[in-house]
Structure 1
Amino acid sequence: MLSTVRHISSHIVLLAVFTVVSWAQTGDIRGVVTDSTNGERIPFATVQIRSINRAAATNINGFYLISNVPTGSHEVQVSSIGFKRGAKKVVVGLGDRAAADFALAPEPVEVSEVVVTEKAKRELTEINTSVHVLESRDIKAMPVVLQEDIFRAIQILPGIVSTSDVNAHFYVRGGGGDQNLILLDGMRIYNPFHAFGIFSIFDSDIIKTTEVYTGAFPPGYGDRLSSVVNMTTRDGKASGLAGKASLNFVSGKVQVEGPASDQFRWLFSGRKSLFGNSITRAFHKDMPVSFYDWFFKFKREEHESEAQLGVEMFQSGDDLHSVRSTDPDYSWRTSALGITASGLVDDRLFVDAIGFRSIFEAARVAKDGSQTTPMSTKIEEAGVRANATYYTDSHNLYFFGFEFNFPFTEFNLINNGGYLRNVKGSTASVSTWIRYQATIDRLKLDGGLHFDIGSLFTRVAGAEVIQPRINASYALDESMKLKASFGRFTQQFITVNNEDDVISIFDAWIQVPEELRAEQADHYVLGFDVNLAQSLSTTVQVYYKNFRTLVSYNRDKVDQADPDYVNSKGRAFGAEFLVRYGVPELDCYAAYTVSRSEIDASGLVYPPRYDRLHTLNILAVWHAGDALDATAHWEFGSGFPYSQTIGYYDRLRFGSAFNSGWVGETGTPYIRIGEKNAARLPAYHRLDLSVTYRFTLAAVKSSLGFHFINVYDHQNVFYFDRKTGQQVDMLSFFPSLTLGAEF
């Protein structure tokens, strides 16, 4: 026995010595990749050492690390979409940690390598089956309805639908609108829309990159069932003061940025509504809305250690003052404050952290004489989020982190009977995660666990505490890849609204009642990616989403003792097809989705309001030289479900037998609704065109954009008025103009 122990011990010692010697014969190369014109760090750039067949990608902070590089001189090459390639010789000594920073010069999109193919290659290397990365140029390529909007841009992605032209609310793979996690630099934003959801509260010019996960997202994200929209903002220009201004039919915008010193930089952007009647003309309805939003960021950067510290603030507000005295007024407010830190805390450990406070509040104010009752909602949250990445000798990656959130919710409603309903709640939402990425020959694995620790203290422990997530991809050859993903997800907070409402005025967030199980869903995804040619790529994915637990209104509620909500279930499944084609003068994109979703609420099975069987988006961007771009976007969608009006009846309301006159009463007319969501609206289709011309006027770079929405003026049905039976349409033909200038 003793000899066996000695034998094992000797092997352990020899292994340790070999590891130390091996590390001493190698070193690391690390650094950051930036834009040479403004100092902005470039995420998702590819860093390669071809001589040893090693590569890495920069993270969201533009940082990269290639470990265990043999000693000697190596040529390191860097490439990123829209930038010229960079290369430099780097000498690695014994146990050295060589620094190699790169500043890449921008390159016009139309003369760079085939952008669509390069983007497909980047996403091809991702293990996740359902991730899309959007940059500023992707948003600007879309025709503008009222103004540039990141949420309208992502709706061309497969699996994402919106129920109308009137608002930018979106639904992902059969999930509800409250099942999307919206992050701004790691801060949770509960209401990302301006009034009535007509467009998002985020100015696209402050966004550096946007990651959109439509399913099976990594362990670092939780408390949502359907999708993640992770937006990273720009840091501001590192050299020289710069600014831009723009004007459109709805609002004006000013953005200013620049350095405060060698280590400090800042950025400010603000928008304000100017022409409220444009919204009225666009939607053919009196909507006297005024709005604003602004963003400020202050960043400090340590050039030697790659560390960054920052403070950022965001606020938006909307007010609607109704013209008629019988209509209520509305107000919406969203604000967020964050303190960020990132950098190496050890030789191979990179940490990205943020502490934040986020608030959303909205109110419906009833006027004197109005039959509408007051209503208000508020959610206030403070939190800390940290994510760490550890780079190993074997070139695999470990990720781990935590998030502590302390949300407080309040919902006040005075019902038609004059009774005040006040719902308050506060809790501690605590989660941690671990994640591991490995490469085994042609197989890439990305797996981990998300732990919803907070649910242990708020409800019965169960499957929602431990949530496995796994993504795998297998390269058949250099151009083809098979992918598979699985993930389990839970959600503790939901919105209080009527799913049958055509437009949700505002969403009141509440915590899932403790007597109910949290919402749960399992995602199953299979994918196939292939580059058919240098300029042509395609992606095919099939998915199944099992909503194991949902929270629905209790349709059997009779008296006050009955619960307001009950658990239900559902499912969604479909197939998505994505084709990209690109040559220097022309970029084309086509996405088709066939899908189905349904909800089972206590035996009542029906498709939700946002269920769309067929969706097709075709986008073409023509680069006519350096100064002119032309875009065409055509969208088709099969009709959304709705509940038909099948008749009317008079309901007798018996009052006092002595003075109500009930004997001769004819009753109050009521509408009789048919089977829930059993009918479908007519199919939707629309063509949008836009032309952008760039020019220089008195040394000021300027741009002029012409946008034409619904060019052939198709009457897309929004809804049928239940009282009159009249058809109400969405946007008709609507031209708009944008004017921009920058210095």
Structure 2
Amino acid sequence: MKTILIIILSSITIYSQSGSIKGRVTEDSFPIPFANIVILNTNFGEATDEDGFYELNNIPTGNYSIRFSAIGFETKILPVQVDQNVTVELDVKLKSIAIEVATVEVTGIRQQEQRDTRTSLIDLNPRDAKVLPGAVEDVFRTLQTLPGVLAPNDFSSQLIVRGSGPDQNLIVLDDVEVFNPYRLYGVISMFNPDAVEQVNLISGGFPSMYGDRLSAVLDVTNREGSTKKTLTGNLNASIVDANLVLEGKNPFDLRGSWLINSRRTYYDLIIEPFVKNAGLVDENTSFPNFYDIQGKFVVGPYKGHKFLFTGIISRDGVDVVSGEERNTPDSIGVYNFINNNVASLAWHYAPSKKFFNKLIASWYINEGLTDFDSRVLDPSLNRDNFEEIIPDTLAPYLLSFSFNAKFKYRKYSIDDKLTYLWKDHIFEAGAGVDFLQSVTDFEFNLDPQLKSIISGNPQFNAVLSDLKDVLNYRRYRVYLQNNFKVNSLLFIQPSLRFDYYDILEKAYFAPRISLSYAFDQLTTLRLVWGLYYQSPGYEKLRDREALLDLRKEYTRGLNAERAIHYVAGIERWLSNEWSIKLEGYYKDFDDLYIQKRVTGTRFFTEPVPGKDPRLIEGWTRPVGVVSDSATQVPINGSFGEAYGFELLLSKKNRSDDSKISGWISYSLAYANRYENGVKYPFRFDQRHTINIVLNYQVSSWFEVGLRWQYGSGFAISEPIGIKPRIINVDTNLDGVPDSPTIATRRVFGNPNADPQVVYDVDFGENKLNSRKPAYHRLDLRANFAARFWNLDWIFYLDVINVYNRKNVIGYDYYITEDLTLGREANNMFPILPTLGFSVKF
């Protein structure tokens, strides 16, 4: 006991004999965000925030040397004396320099200061998205390697965060909410790592300045242009796409900078001619492609004032028609385009170090058009038996389906965000309003055979019903939060958010509270509790892949979806380069939107003993039984939960001798939903997830990296067998199906045989009752740096799925000739090498 008292008293004495250092790092009065600040020969270190400010606390008294460094700037080492209970104010100005290839610094996941009470925060270095193997230089795909974040499959950059769908994530770019952050139909995101300055993902317990989402927040800031030169830039090109960044200081001695970046794929220029020559697609086909132009212009005409304009223009397009030389029976025609445009103007006002205000006005539009026409082989048949068959002879075995879809989501927003520092308090407050318009127009066209099939399966009626709607509504919000210091170890941040959703005609208050406790300068505990709401909207349903009718007569009776977050985490710095973070979370979902079900009719038949089940005589006449029939009307009919544990071990490079950086993460997660008294796993429920990311700097001109990922497999609905297809036929020609009958057709290749019963795959009442096989994949990348023509070059080789693992995205089920259930797996990326280069000028 005496020993324990001595230790405690010694700790108190040490902390009482300490001081602090704070200040700002700038270049020509402009802040330098994320500059590294290290007290040499100690474990104390920090990074500046987005406005260049930093603060180091609980530093034992004494004389030190403190180093200030940032990529592209000269390093400064300054002496400093720390006295007891004194805060030293040290502002530093750094000069910009040309970046040498050999001095590139890899910092990985950035350090979170102890005063920051946010749990589940991942502050990603954009360079990781540039060098991460298999991430195709994409921010979203890099985030998918971190704890709590999953990808739906290899072909999607969507973020599945802690048991929630992508529709429950808030995506913000330069203080503007973005509905559709994807390009190339979800393959990559809109964020170019060459133009991004800051990437903050909060996977749970986010503060009250964010709202109208249940799960997570991704807040991205595009960087400002360089003020070193009138014109500088970077070109990055691979075998499938290219992006160009141009930037420089403003002309006419106007303080500030400009930056323009553009990207374009060229599948249509490289792959398309080969496919057309092979006759696999029609000559009028245009392969999927996109272009994206983003710009950021900054002007600081007066001290304390900064004006920022952000603009984005992008377009995705595809026009595909099946060619006559294809060896499959299906034919499709797809024409689609999607526009995604943003314009915003922000005024940043900072009359002093204690007061900062942002006023943002923005305009956003996401619109698209799709024309789809298809003739596909009946899914009950084994398509391997119908390859190389002339399509004209397959008419009885093909189903025709087409639809036309138009959407337009337009949003005008005004936001004001205030930060005020007073003594040991950081006050933040804000208010805003969105004016939204949603135009939705879905029209489906089915051939008579397909209509008769659907009429016998009422659960499909809602999925393929036409929907036309125009919504005009508003969202209002106000928030207030205060981060205050209780003592040198404990910080608390209570906050409150108010939202009014015009579409629901309801208002909601959402209290939240978070705290951080510093056991010492290396160990921090963080806790969060919060209440979160999400309103309905067609723009959210696109990410959810659901079609609900949100007309006023249906939404007035709805409540906003609700979630309560409980998060606890502890972070420990093991050294100046190694850190470990443990987090546990529980999310309680309620009032989730599902389709309203009404009483309907399902048709049922039984086998006749002793009769051939291949013939219609082998089955009883179908009879109707009471069953549920789905509609497009939304109701608050589901609730759920998500809980788990996450571990992150990360390694940074903070010295010239350090060669290895990266992280290892593990997640144990559970996600369930409850509907109509039935519990089932969330469709992206994955029990175990492991990610290993390593980067090794072999020399000043050569580095290699690897990423290995493992997932125990998503939930999937497994069929229980087969059943006769029952169709509803219009016998009296009044346009209303009135006579259920068992479908039959003649056997292909034997026209004289008796018609046989058509069978379908029977999934029964089981929902998500099985699992996909485990997913795992190894990606490798090698970067080679060089300098010639007075330019800095990097050449790279990136290989996805090095050992060619056949990871399953799903299954096609069919009926075999002996009336058993067959299954064929559809796989994701095979081994896929990519070559590319980047050059700075």
Q: Give the TM interval when normalised to the shorter protein.
A: 0.7 to 0.9
Query: Are positions 1:141 and 2:125 aligned together?
Result: no
Q: Which moved more, 1:553-562 or 1:659-668?
A: 659-668
1:701-716 to 2 correspondences below 5 Å:
701-716=792-807
Cα distance in 2 for residues equivalent to 1:104 and 1:295: 28
CA contact under 8 A between 1:377 and 1:508: conserved in structure 2?
no
CA contact under 8 A between 1:543 and 1:574: conserved in structure 2?
yes
Residue equivalent to 1:14? none
Residue equivalent to 1:401? 430
Deviation sequence 1:190-248 (CA, Å, 0-9, x none): 11111331111222111011111101111111111111111111111113110121211
SS at match of 2:813: coil
Residue equivalent to 2:518? 475
1:593-608 to 2 correspondences below 5 Å:
593-608=667-682
Deviation at 1:430, TM superposition (A): 0.9
Cα distance in 2 for residues equivalent to 1:480 and 1:203: 34
CA contact under 8 A between 2:549 and 2:633: conserved in structure 1?
no
Residue equivalent to 2:165? 176
Amino acid at match of 2:679: V
Amino acid at match of 2:761: I
Query: Are positions 1:726 and 2:824 aligned together?
Result: yes
Residue equivalent to 1:33? 26
Deviation at 1:650, TM superposition (A): 1.5
Residue equivalent to 1:296? 295
Cα distance in 1 for residues equivalent to 2:438 and 2:543: 24
Residue equivalent to 2:308? 310
Cα distance in 1 for residues equivalent to 2:575 and 2:539: 49
Deviation at 1:493, TM superposition (A): 3.1
Q: Aligned to 1:350, which of 349, 352, 356?
A: 356
Q: Aligned to 1:630, which of 675, 692, 704?
A: 704
Residue equivalent to 2:391? none
Deviation at 1:539, TM superposition (A): 0.6
Amino acid at match of 1:575: F
152 and 664 in structure 1: CA distance in 2 versus 1, 3 angstrom threshold: closer
541 and 687 in structure 1: CA distance in 2 versus 1, 3 angstrom threshold: same
SS at match of 1:547: strand
Q: Which structure 1 segments of 5+ residues have no match?
A: 1-27, 68-73, 91-97
Deviation at 1:181, TM superposition (A): 0.8
CA contact under 8 A between 1:305 and 1:343: conserved in structure 2?
no
Query: Are positions 1:102 and 2:93 aligned together?
Result: yes
Cα distance in 1 for residues equivalent to 2:525 and 2:490: 10
Residue equivalent to 1:736? 834
Residue equivalent to 1:684? 775
Amino acid at match of 1:373: F
276 and 239 in structure 1: CA distance in 2 versus 1, 3 angstrom threshold: same
Residue equivalent to 2:210? 221
Deviation at 1:40, TM superposition (A): 7.2
Cα distance in 1 for residues equivalent to 2:435 and 2:543: 31
Residue equivalent to 1:696? 787
Q: Which moved more, 1:209-218 or 1:466-475?
A: 466-475
Query: Are positions 1:525 and 2:567 aligned together?
Result: yes
Q: Which structure 2 segments of 5+ residues have no match?
A: 1-20, 58-62, 81-88, 323-330, 376-399, 447-463, 601-628, 745-756, 815-821
Residue equivalent to 2:621? none
SS at match of 2:572: strand
Query: Are positions 1:459 and 2:534 aligned together?
Result: no
CA contact under 8 A between 1:415 and 1:421: conserved in structure 2?
no
206 and 111 in structure 1: CA distance in 2 versus 1, 3 angstrom threshold: closer
Query: Are positions 1:673 and 2:662 aligned together?
Result: no
SS at match of 2:225: coil
TM-score, normalised to structure 1's length?
0.83
Residue equivalent to 1:196? 185
Q: Which moved more, 1:439-448 or 1:126-135?
A: 439-448
SS at match of 2:591: strand
Cα distance in 1 for residues equivalent to 2:661 and 2:39: 30
SS at match of 1:178: helix
Residue equivalent to 1:414? 443
Root-mean-square deviation (CA, aligned residues, Å) is 3.9
1:299-338 to 2 correspondences below 5 Å:
299-302=298-301, 305-324=303-322, 326-338=332-344
Cα distance in 2 for residues equivalent to 1:428 and 1:384: 12
What is the aligned-residue identity percentage?
25
Cα distance in 1 for residues equivalent to 2:631 and 2:224: 54
249 and 123 in structure 1: CA distance in 2 versus 1, 3 angstrom threshold: farther
582 and 373 in structure 1: CA distance in 2 versus 1, 3 angstrom threshold: closer
Cα distance in 2 for residues equivalent to 1:276 and 1:337: 29
CA contact under 8 A between 2:264 and 2:290: conserved in structure 1?
yes
Cα distance in 2 for residues equivalent to 1:500 and 1:151: 15
Q: Aligned to 1:649, which of 707, 721, 724?
A: 724
Deviation at 1:645, TM superposition (A): 2.4
Deviation at 1:112, TM superposition (A): 9.0
Residue equivalent to 1:360? 366
Residue equivalent to 1:234? 223
Deviation at 1:345, TM superposition (A): 4.2
Q: Aligned to 1:549, which of 591, 603, 606?
A: 591
Query: Are positions 1:248 and 2:238 aligned together?
Result: yes
652 and 140 in structure 1: CA distance in 2 versus 1, 3 angstrom threshold: closer
Deviation sequence 1:588-612 (CA, Å, 0-9, x none): 3100000010111232321122111
Deviation sequence 1:257-306 (CA, Å, 0-9, x none): 11223313211111111134878999xx989201111101211024x624
Residue equivalent to 1:340? 346
Residue equivalent to 1:614? 688
SS at match of 2:189: coil
SS at match of 2:729: coil
Deviation at 1:722, TM superposition (A): 3.3
SS at match of 2:633: coil
622 and 66 in structure 1: CA distance in 2 versus 1, 3 angstrom threshold: closer
CA contact under 8 A between 2:267 and 2:287: conserved in structure 1?
no
SS at match of 1:151: helix
Q: Which moved more, 1:696-705 or 1:442-451?
A: 442-451
Cα distance in 2 for residues equivalent to 1:585 and 1:88: 26
Cα distance in 1 for residues equivalent to 2:693 and 2:25: 34
Amino acid at match of 2:292: D
560 and 713 in structure 1: CA distance in 2 versus 1, 3 angstrom threshold: closer
SS at match of 1:196: coil
89 and 358 in structure 1: CA distance in 2 versus 1, 3 angstrom threshold: farther
Count of residue correspondences: 687
CA contact under 8 A between 2:597 and 2:631: conserved in structure 1?
no
Cα distance in 1 for residues equivalent to 2:30 and 2:550: 36
Look at both structures and tell me which one has the larger radius of gyration over its CA atoms: 2
217 and 419 in structure 1: CA distance in 2 versus 1, 3 angstrom threshold: closer
Q: Which moved more, 1:451-460 or 1:287-296?
A: 451-460
SS at match of 1:157: coil
Amino acid at match of 1:166: F
Cα distance in 2 for residues equivalent to 1:377 and 1:472: 43
Residue equivalent to 2:86? none
Deviation sequence 1:151-195 (CA, Å, 0-9, x none): 000111100001210111111011111111111101111111113
Deviation sequence 1:127-164 (CA, Å, 0-9, x none): 2111111122221231145x310000011110000121
SS at match of 1:225: coil
1:477-516 to 2 correspondences below 5 Å:
477-494=520-537, 513-516=555-558
Deviation sequence 1:669-711 (CA, Å, 0-9, x none): 4332141111000000000000011111211211101001100
Deviation at 1:449, TM superposition (A): 2.9
SS at match of 1:563: strand
Cα distance in 2 for residues equivalent to 1:351 and 1:55: 28
Cα distance in 2 for residues equivalent to 1:175 and 1:42: 35
Query: Are positions 1:129 and 2:199 aligned together?
Result: no
Q: Aligned to 1:580, which of 650, 655, 671?
A: 650
Cα distance in 2 for residues equivalent to 1:515 and 1:192: 31
Residue equivalent to 1:431? 477
Deviation sequence 1:360-414 (CA, Å, 0-9, x none): 112211459962111122211010122111111x232111111211111121111
614 and 542 in structure 1: CA distance in 2 versus 1, 3 angstrom threshold: same
480 and 346 in structure 1: CA distance in 2 versus 1, 3 angstrom threshold: closer
